[in-house]
Amino acid sequence: MKQVVSFDRLARYEGNLPRYTSYPTAVQFTDDVGFSLYKEWLQALPEGEPVSLYLHVPFCDELCKFCACNTQVVNQEAIRTAYGDLLCDELMRLAGFLKTRRSVSFIHFGGGTPTTLPMIAMKKVMQTIYSLFDIQKDADISIELDPRHVSVEYFSNLHPLGFTRVSFGVQDLDPKVQKACGRIQSKELTAHCIDVVRQNHIHSVNIDLIYGLPNQTTESLRETIRSVVELKPDRLAVFGYAHVPWKFKRQTLLEGDVLPDSVERFQQRQVIDEILQEAGYQVIGLDHYALPHDTMSKAAQQGTLHRNFQGYTVDDAPALLGVGASSVSIVPQGIVQNHPSVAAYQKAMAGGGELPIVRGVERNEEDLLRWTVIERLMCDLHIDLKQVTSQYNKPDNFFDDALAKLKSFEDDGLVQITDYKITVTEEGRCFLRNIVVVFDTYYRVAPQRHAQAI
């Protein structure tokens, strides 16, 4: 359904906000939370509960100028292989700190470009995981790929290793946009890679797209989306470009015209939403889409969708355990992050038998309550506050201040509030981050901290 939003209303909700892939957000991480506390949290995880694993590979064959990921170009195969050995070492240490052998329901390799790991190293990492954990039969095992730099031989090894889903970076198919961003990737190449993946028995395919890039227009993006729909991916993640050059200097190298303004960005988002829904994709939360048969669509319908640093996910394990440089781990008691740089990560791994944690944040009961509200609104677009506050033994009026802040959103038709029940309207979907920020007691307006909200 096309969303009609006046320009003055759009201006009222401009600004930079957290993406809310966790709570508290990464801004609250400090070096006061480190390995010792994380070790206690790991050992306190209830026995019998599954865990999920995230493995970060911070290497690429070439850098995209728009990228805001922790990655670098490393061409030496020996360095890539050595990094695979570090992942295996960290996995063994991690398993040693868990009280019992754990079952795993979800594994994701992200980056960077995980397929920069030589296949011999990838096999070793996967064999290490299988030796340390019990992988559930229906486990979701996924990996991110760069179609420009992966061989047919690599594709053929993924399914035998247990992979069930792949994610392709595409971003945009218009040559002018690709040139400005330093990522040249034809539709034909992307289509070929998807065909090869499916021929090799991996039937779940995700495509990443970005709007708000230099030289993008609503019309050029319309052509990109139509072309992508022809490839029939099972899922799409459609992100607004996060321009944070103070954090990632490579973004200063972007070429072409100035970035689209907020009105143009919103119109681009409308075009994407319109075409994908017409093509039969279900809109998922803020910025994901999936075909009706996909597990993400089913989770959204059943109210079991979740959100973490990977975005929207069907992963419902109580603990997400990160491995590799900059990876993030989330357990009920708190959130921790490994050393971001490969050099610091390698040094920390060489220092003994500890895990390479550099910072984190401890979560209290109120943090968990607020995350429940934020996550459910981000995933379901509705919540019964009385039900949640009762679950956490809080009074019914606990969120009166937040509801007062939402009054202007209600006046603008972005939410409906009745008897402590909040429903985000379809018009309000693209303002989800603006809506949930009222429940964030840590948030402070600050320049050069978060990405653009719309």
- The reply, when asked if residue 111 is annotated as ligand binding, is yes
Three-state secondary structure readout of 269-330: HHHHHHHHHHCCCEEECCCEEECCCCHHHHHHHHCCCEEECCEEECCCCCEEEEECCCCEEE
Q: Where are the beta strands (DSSP E) in 126-234?
A: 134-145, 165-171, 204-211
- The reply, when asked if residue 208 is annotated as ligand binding, is yes
CB 132 within 8 A of CB 155: no
CB 290 within 8 A of CB 297: yes
- The reply, when asked if residue 401 is annotated as ligand binding, is no
CB 195 within 8 A of CB 244: no
The candidate with the shortest Cα–Cα distance to 420, out of 433, 408, 404, 436, is 404
Q: Residue ranges of the chain with pLDDT lower than 70? A: 1-8, 11, 65-69, 243-257, 446-454
Max Cα-Cα span within the chain: 61
Looking at residue 409, its pLDDT comes to 95
Residues ≥6 apart with Cβ < 8 Å to 241: 66, 210, 211, 212, 213, 259
Alpha-carbon distance of 428 to 435, in angstroms, equals 8
Looking at residue 2, its pLDDT comes to 47
Looking at residue 394, its pLDDT comes to 97
Alpha-carbon distance of 158 to 197, in angstroms, equals 9
Residues ≥6 apart with Cβ < 8 Å to 63: 71, 72, 73, 182, 250
Alpha-carbon distance of 101 to 367, in angstroms, equals 29
CB 124 within 8 A of CB 166: no
Looking at residue 449, its pLDDT comes to 54
**Which tens digit of pLDDT belongs to each residue from 215-250?**
899 999 999 999 999 999 999 999 888 766 656 666
Looking at residue 439, its pLDDT comes to 98
- The reply, when asked if residue 60 is annotated as ligand binding, is yes
Residues ≥6 apart with Cβ < 8 Å to 82: none
**Which tens digit of pLDDT belongs to each residue from 255-276?**
656 778 888 888 999 999 999 9
Looking at residue 306, its pLDDT comes to 97
Looking at residue 1, its pLDDT comes to 45
Looking at residue 6, its pLDDT comes to 57
Domain spans of the chain? 27-362, 365-452
Angstrom distances, CA of residue 267 to CA of 15, 154, 290, 402, 410: 17, 39, 21, 29, 22
Question: What b/e readout covers 161-171, taking b as 16+ CB neighbours within 10 angstroms?
Answer: bebbbbbbbbb
CB 265 within 8 A of CB 212: yes
CA 399 to chain centre: 28
Q: Give CA torsion, residues 300, 302, 303, 305, to 10 deg.
A: -50
- The reply, when asked if residue 113 is annotated as ligand binding, is yes
Alpha-carbon distance of 418 to 440, in angstroms, equals 21
The stretches of 17-76 forming alpha helices (DSSP H) are 35-43
Alpha-carbon distance of 438 to 424, in angstroms, equals 14
User: Which contiguous run of DSSP H or E holds residue 17?
Assistant: strand 16-17
The CATH number fitting domain 27-362, selected from 3.40.50.10540, 3.30.420.40, 3.20.20.240, 3.80.30.20: 3.80.30.20
- The reply, when asked if residue 181 is annotated as ligand binding, is no
Looking at residue 64, its pLDDT comes to 73
Angstrom distances, CA of residue 317 to CA of 51, 104, 418: 5, 8, 32
- The reply, when asked if residue 242 is annotated as ligand binding, is yes
CB 71 within 8 A of CB 342: no
- The fold of the 365-452 domain, in CATH, is Arc Repressor Mutant, subunit A (1.10.10)
- The reply, when asked if residue 84 is annotated as ligand binding, is no
Per DSSP bridges, beta strands 165-171 and 134-145 are parallel
- The reply, when asked if residue 112 is annotated as ligand binding, is yes
Question: What b/e readout covers 388-403, taking b as 16+ CB neighbours within 10 angstroms?
Answer: bbeeeebeeebbeebb
- The reply, when asked if residue 64 is annotated as ligand binding, is yes
Alpha-carbon distance of 175 to 11, in angstroms, equals 31
| Predicted model pTM | 0.93
